[in-house]
Structure 1
Amino acid sequence: MPYWTTTDRPVGEQFSYWREVICEAFTPLATERRAAHRPPGPRDPGITSWVRSTPLTGTNCAEVVSTTQLITHGEAEVRRTGSDQVFVNLQLRGHCLAGQGDRTCVVPPGGFAMFDTTSEYSLEFIGEPATREWHVVSFRVPRSQLVPLLADPHGFTAVTHDARAGGLPSVVASTMMSIWDNVGSLDRSAADAADTAFTALLAATAGAGDALRDTGRARLDATLRASINRYVAANLRHADLPAAHVARRFGISVRKLHGLYEGTGSTFAQTVMALRVEGCARELRSGGGHRSFTELASRWGFCDLSHLNRVFKARYGCLPSQYRGSADGDGPPAGTVAPTG
Structure 2
Amino acid sequence: MDATRSFTLDYLDPWRTVSFPVPVRDVPESLRAEATARTFSTGTGLGAVLADTLRSSWSQAPRMSDSEADAVGAAVASLSRALSPSTRTDALREEAGGDEVLRRSIEHHLERHVRFADTSPAAMARHFAISVRKLHQLYESAPLTYGQTVMRTRVLACAEDLRAERGRATMTHLAAKWGFSDLSHLHRAFRHHLGHSPREVLAQLDADVAAWERAG
1:23-34 alignment, distance < 5 Å: none
Identity %: 33
User: Separation in 1 of the partners of 2:176 and 2:96?
Assistant: 36
CA RMSD in angstroms comes to: 3.9
**Aligned counterpart for 1:88 among listed residues 34, 50, 60:** 50
Q: CA deviation at 1:287?
A: 2.7
| 1:323 and 1:329 in contact (8 A); partners too | no
**Aligned counterpart for 1:230 among listed residues 108, 121, 138:** 108
Aligned length: 159
SS of the residue 1:264 aligns to: coil
User: Separation in 2 of the partners of 1:262 and 1:282?
Assistant: 28
**Aligned counterpart for 1:206 among listed residues 74, 86, 105:** 86
Consecutive unaligned residues of structure 1, counting only runs of 5 or more, are 1-53, 65-82, 90-113, 116-124, 140-158, 163-168, 170-201, 332-341
Give the direction of change, closer, same or farther, for the CA distance of 1:279–1:329 in structure 2 (3 Å limit).
farther
**Aligned counterpart for 1:284 among listed residues 162, 165, 182:** 162
Structure showing the higher strand proportion among its residues: 1
Consecutive unaligned residues of structure 2, counting only runs of 5 or more, are 1-14, 22-42, 54-63, 210-216
Structure showing the higher helix proportion among its residues: 2
User: Separation in 2 of the partners of 1:297 and 1:283?
Assistant: 11
User: Separation in 2 of the partners of 1:234 and 1:137?
Assistant: 41
Q: CA deviation at 1:269?
A: 0.3
| 2:175 and 2:181 in contact (8 A); partners too | yes
Q: CA deviation at 1:87?
A: 2.4
> For residues 215-250 of structure 1, what are the alpha-carbon distances to aligned partners after superposition, in whole Å with 9 as ceiling and x for unaligned?
707812222111111111111111341111111111
User: Separation in 2 of the partners of 1:291 and 1:315?
Assistant: 21
Give the direction of change, closer, same or farther, for the CA distance of 1:270–1:330 in structure 2 (3 Å limit).
farther
Partner of 2:199 in structure 1?
321
User: Separation in 2 of the partners of 1:286 and 1:279?
Assistant: 11
Q: CA deviation at 1:136?
A: 3.8
Q: TM-score, normalised by structure 1?
A: 0.39
Q: TM-score, normalised by structure 2?
A: 0.59
